[in-house]
């Protein structure tokens, strides 16, 4: 009888142990840093008002806790899109996103934990196609790349924000054109650069010619003014002043004062110690 009771208690203990193990795994939930929890109550539905923060939580075994990673995530997308003139262009983009902490329950209800494939990737493709389709290959290759990235960011941010996702950044890694188109664009850009360089040289030469003309005109005007100001009396006075200065010099000289020529200036002969 004792052995029978022992076997009975052993079987009961075994089943209790199994039940305890099942209850333990179902009711004790640990949410790590960088995660949030959403609780689904089997008899009350999804709990939208309360988002469970990182830590240890006890959950009834008939309820389910869905744990979401809310760290910043990154997806890379390569696709072929059409430009404004119908040419195929390959675009590689990188998108960094994260769920809004307070809206994880709504995100779970709308898209589930597979929101990256159900929401973000399709919206990235749609926004890229819509924006790229407004530009020509030449604009995408040369001058409009930053503008394209800004427009895609604005377009995608509006959509994701309305669907509980925070867009952190979108980066265009590469825009690849068909070889023939890229070669034609490069040749055109090279020709434009050559033309700009030639125009610069012509402008510089024209400016240099104008500078020389102005300089020559200034010299001519100065000479004309100087010539007009040098009368015969002024020249005679300047000659007398120079003679007086030489006369003060200790060097030997002969100064003849009088009509030494048509100018009437003094004539200085000789010189030396």
Q: Where are the domains of the chain?
A: 2-69, 73-177, 186-229, 236-272
CA distance readout (Å), 23 to 18, 20, 28, 29, 52: 9, 5, 8, 11, 20
Top CATH class of 73-177 equals alpha beta
Report residue 117 as tokens: 């494939």
Q: Predicted confidence band at 74 (pLDDT cuts at 50, 70, 90)? A: very high
Q: Is 38 exposed, middle or buried (0-12, 13-18, 19+ CB in 10 A)?
A: buried
- Residue 72 is predicted with a pLDDT of 93
- Residue percentage of the chain with pLDDT more than 90: 29
Q: Helix 121-132 and helix 145-161: axis angle, to 10°?
A: 140
Q: Predicted confidence band at 67 (pLDDT cuts at 50, 70, 90)? A: very high
Look at residue 57 and give its three-state secondary structure.
strand
How many angstroms separate the CA atoms of 83 and 86, rounded? 5
What value does the mean pLDDT of the chain take? 79
Under a CB-based contact definition with an 8 Å cutoff, are residues 205 and 137 in contact?
Answer: no
Under a CB-based contact definition with an 8 Å cutoff, are residues 176 and 223 in contact?
Answer: no
Under a CB-based contact definition with an 8 Å cutoff, are residues 267 and 256 in contact?
Answer: yes
- Residue 82 is predicted with a pLDDT of 85
Tell me: pLDDT of 195 over 90. Answer: no
In terms of phi and psi (left: phi > 0; alpha: psi -120 to 50; beta: otherwise), the region of 64 is beta
- Over residues 231-245, the pLDDT tens digits come to 666 656 666 676 666
- Residue 123 is predicted with a pLDDT of 94
- Over residues 146-173, the pLDDT tens digits come to 888 899 999 999 999 999 999 999 998 8
Tell me: pLDDT of 266 over 80. Answer: no
Q: Is the pTM of this model over 0.75?
A: no
Q: Predicted confidence band at 198 (pLDDT cuts at 50, 70, 90)? A: low
For the CA atoms of 106, 111, 113, 114, the dihedral, rounded to the nearest 10 degrees, stands at -160
- Over residues 6-31, the pLDDT tens digits come to 677 777 777 777 666 665 555 788 89
- Residue percentage of the chain with pLDDT more than 70: 69
- Over residues 76-109, the pLDDT tens digits come to 999 888 888 777 888 899 999 999 999 999 999 9
Q: Predicted confidence band at 259 (pLDDT cuts at 50, 70, 90)? A: low
CA distance readout (Å), 95 to 78, 149, 166, 273: 11, 11, 11, 97
In terms of phi and psi (left: phi > 0; alpha: psi -120 to 50; beta: otherwise), the region of 51 is beta
């Amino acid at each position: 009888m004792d052995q029978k009771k022992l076997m009975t208690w052993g079987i009961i203990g075994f089943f209790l142990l199994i039940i305890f193990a099942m209850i333990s795994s179902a009711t004790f939930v640990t949410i790590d840093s960088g995660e949030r929890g959403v609780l689904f109550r089997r008899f009350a539905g999804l709990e939208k008002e309360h988002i469970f923060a990182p830590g240890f939580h006890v959950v009834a075994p008939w309820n389910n806790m869905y744990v979401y990673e809310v760290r910043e995530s990154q997806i890379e997308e390569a696709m072929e899109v059409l430009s404004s003139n119908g040419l195929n262009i390959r675009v590689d983009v990188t998108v960094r996103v994260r769920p809004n902490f307070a809206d994880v329950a709504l995100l779970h209800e709308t898209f589930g934990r597979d929101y990256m494939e159900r929401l973000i990737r399709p919206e990235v493709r749609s926004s890229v196609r819509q924006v790229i389709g407004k530009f020509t290959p030449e604009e995408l290759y040369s001058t409009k790349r930053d503008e394209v990235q800004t427009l895609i960011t604005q377009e995608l941010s509006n959509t994701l924000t309305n669907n509980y996702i925070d867009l952190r950044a979108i980066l265009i890694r590469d825009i690849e054109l068909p070889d023939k188109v890229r070669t034609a664009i490069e040749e055109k850009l090279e020709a434009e650069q050559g033309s700009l360089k030639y125009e610069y040289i012509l402008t510089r030469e024209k400016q240099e010619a104008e500078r020389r003309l102005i300089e020559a005109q200034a010299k001519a005007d100065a000479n004309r003014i100087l010539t007009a100001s040098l009368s015969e009396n002024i020249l005679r006075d300047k000659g007398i002043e120079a003679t007086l200065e030489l006369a003060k010099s200790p060097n030997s000289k002969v100064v003849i004062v009088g009509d030494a020529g048509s100018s009437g200036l003094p004539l200085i002969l000789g010189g030396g110690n």
